[in-house]
Amino acid sequence: MRNTLRTFTLLAALTAIFVGIGYSMGGPNGMIIAFGLAVAMNAFSYWNSDKIVLKMYRAQAVDASHPDPLVRNYASDVIELAGRAQMPLPKIYIIDQDQPNAFATGRNPDHAAVAATRGLLRMLDRREIRGVMAHELAHVKHRDTLTMTVTATIAGAISTLANLAAFSGASSNGERRGGGLLGLMVMILAPIAAALVQMAISRSREYEADRGGAEISGDPEALASALRKIEAYARGVPNPDAEANPATSHMFIINPLSGQGMDNLFSTHPSTANRVAALMDLSDQTRA
């Protein structure tokens, strides 16, 4: 309950930043326009988030009849785990990427999808893959997929609007001598604030999904082992699609960005070591 309240508080903070930029650009009218734009973007994300992200990563739908045994086992396990979680079966996708990773998307459990990369299926054993997919199903069950999509949409819009605010202030010359400085401050500080809020939301939801996934699979140690392996491999295997779309990085179970640029200035994921420690504590509690 505490994490849920914190998530909604942080989402409200993101919206406030966005509306504040609108006010700095056009006063009360700008604030109203910015608020309306935020509502429109969130409505668009609500209905189209899963299609956009899956297309972005060129994900392909699969099922338990797939000819590749790795994919077939993966699909079968998702079906079985969804049954254990007593939730609707999400659509199942595979992404042709070497980096081991996975994510979930969709506006609610009835309209959701889970996706794993081929690298994940090749590098993890079946028990670990089950742990990962149980984590993604927990995201769906907790409706994190909608929350994170809205977060990404607003955060991305803040950066765009901040750039417009800076340009507007800089181009006003003598009419608004302070406008250029205000615009510059908005351009720098607003995206940083948005990134910090996005990071805080993502981190709180990852811990909850780890716990929920461990409950679904009944095997916290499998997810802990998977997280260690994914992080170790992901650091050395770039994900070009994620590098081209860094706003989606928070959706993955482990940050897919290689850090070649400035994308990792604010990590959207909690420390893997801390996540593993929490899972091992949960495993000890389960055995006690």
Q: Render pLDDT for 233-248 as a digit per residue (tens, 0 to 9).
A: 988 899 999 888 877 8
Q: State how far the Cα of 48 lies from the Cα of 113, in Å rounded to an integer.
A: 12
Is there a catalytic annotation at residue 215?
A: no
Nearest in space to 256 (alpha carbons), one of 230, 274, 222? 230
Q: Kindly list the structural domains of the chain, giving each domain's residue range(s) and its CATH number in brackets, ordered by start.
A: 49-146+181-287 (3.30.2010.10)
Burial class (CB in 10 A: 0-12, 13-18, 19+), 102: buried
Torsion of CA 135, 141, 147, 149, to 10 degrees: 70
pLDDT digits over 30-49, tens only?
Answer: 778 877 877 777 677 677 77
Asked if the model's pLDDT at residue 28 lies above 60, the reply is yes
Indicate which residue of 128, 136, 221, 231 is catalytic. 136
Is 135 annotated as a binding-site member? yes
Residue 135 has a pLDDT of: 98
pLDDT digits over 194-204, tens only?
Answer: 666 666 666 77
How is residue 146 written in tokens? 């909608």
Cβ proximity of 279 and 224 under 8 Å: yes
Q: State how far the Cα of 52 lies from the Cα of 193, in Å rounded to an integer.
A: 25
**Most confident segment among 26-35, 163-172, 220-229, 242-251:** 220-229
Is 66 annotated as a binding-site member? no
